[in-house]
Amino acid sequence: MNELSHTRTNHLIDPSMHVWGWEIPVYLFLGGLVAGMMIIAGYFLFMGRHKEPKCSCFYLPIISTIVLSIGMFALFLDLEHKLYFWRLYTTFQLKSPMSWGAWILVLVYPALFANILIRPPEIISNKFRLIASLSEKINRMKNSTRLIGILNISLGVLLGVYTGILLSALGARPLWNTSILWMLFLISGLSAAAAFVHLIAKDVQEREMLAKADNTFLTVELIVIILLIVGALSSTQAHIDAINIILTGPFAASFWVFVVGLGIIIPLIFQVLAVQHKIIHTPVFPIMVIVGGLILRFIIVYAGQYSHWSHTVLGK
């Protein structure tokens, strides 16, 4: 027997840490989704697909702006000292991924706005002459769409990567403390975004293209999950205990069923059949991918807080 007891009873800390509720996984998911949409829209611009009249790159930045703002509002709700949130923008802390994230978000909005300006919705350009004239100027500039495409891809990658690094930099939580987490969040963001664009795209050819892309993203995501598991299982006892929380422990059922099974493997199988024209495309599988991505963030955030280093001394 090696029993540990302590007299501390701090709220959100004891008996096990749960400092971050629904707000953080929702933000991380929406941030990843926007990152994926920025990369997809940026890629379309870079490849010149904006010449297609039905290209989704025209409405993706508008949707991204709304979705990201909802995510940031969730983040704001999570703050315990809300009235001081502006303190994020009076400093830049080099070692803090959260500080990097706060400033990346400041850069993301202008990139999205620049993308909107390529062809702003008529309701907006008719009402605001300034936007219409800005749009004209941008379209007259040489290579402007390609540059805006590259800008959106770059900031999308930064946004997606930072959502993972935010957690992986916290060494006190062994489940998060893996350098592959950014890759998992980036690829999961891309697969959710591809599924979302597949759902809403008006162009049939585009829909097909995104279904194929999503199949690749889901396959890579599965590989990254396997690498994350192998990495943790071959690390310290704290990391082995941490990964077992999602492999066999309290989060195992939701992880295997909702993330791996219903969120990746089943939609992958059916979407592979759909792109081979053996079955028809349905909205069911993209929706399963999106929900799986959201549940993945919940499981990683909740199980990660639950993971910890051993506090025992005598048994060591």
Positions touching another protein (CB under 8 A) are 1-14, 17, 19-20, 78-82, 84-85, 87-88, 90-91, 93, 95-99, 101-102, 169-173, 236, 238, 305, 308-315
Residue 196 · residue 214 · CB < 8 Å:
no
Nearer to another protein, 103 or 270 (CB): 103
Cis preceding-peptide flag for 61 (omega within 30 of 0): no
Residue 184 · residue 166 · CB < 8 Å:
no
Nearer to another protein, 124 or 169 (CB): 169
Q: Tell me how far, at minimum, the Cβ of 261 lies from another protein, in Å.
A: 29
Q: Tell me how far, at minimum, the Cβ of 176 lies from another protein, in Å.
A: 8
Nearer to another protein, 95 or 129 (CB): 95
Nearer to another protein, 11 or 142 (CB): 11
Work out the angle at residue 229's Cα, subtended by the Cα atoms of residues 311 and 220, and round it to the nearest 5 degrees: 145
Nearer to another protein, 80 or 122 (CB): 80
Q: Tell me how far, at minimum, the Cβ of 68 lies from another protein, in Å.
A: 18
Q: Tell me how far, at minimum, the Cβ of 117 lies from another protein, in Å.
A: 30
By three-state DSSP, how is residue 55 classified? coil
Q: Tell me how far, at minimum, the Cβ of 174 lies from another protein, in Å.
A: 9
| Two tokens, residue 156 | 């999308």
Amino acid identity, position 131: I
Residue 71 · residue 30 · CB < 8 Å:
yes
Q: Tell me how far, at minimum, the Cβ of 20 lies from another protein, in Å.
A: 6
**What is the DSSP-derived secondary structure letter of residue 314?**
T
Distance CA 86, CA 21 (A): 22
Nearer to another protein, 83 or 280 (CB): 83
**Crossing angle of the two packed helices 144-168 and 284-306, in degrees rounded to 10:** 40
Residue by residue, DSSP assigns 229-288 as HHHHHTS-HHHHHHHHHHHTSTTHHHIIIIIIIIIIIHHHHHHHHHHTTSS---THHHHH
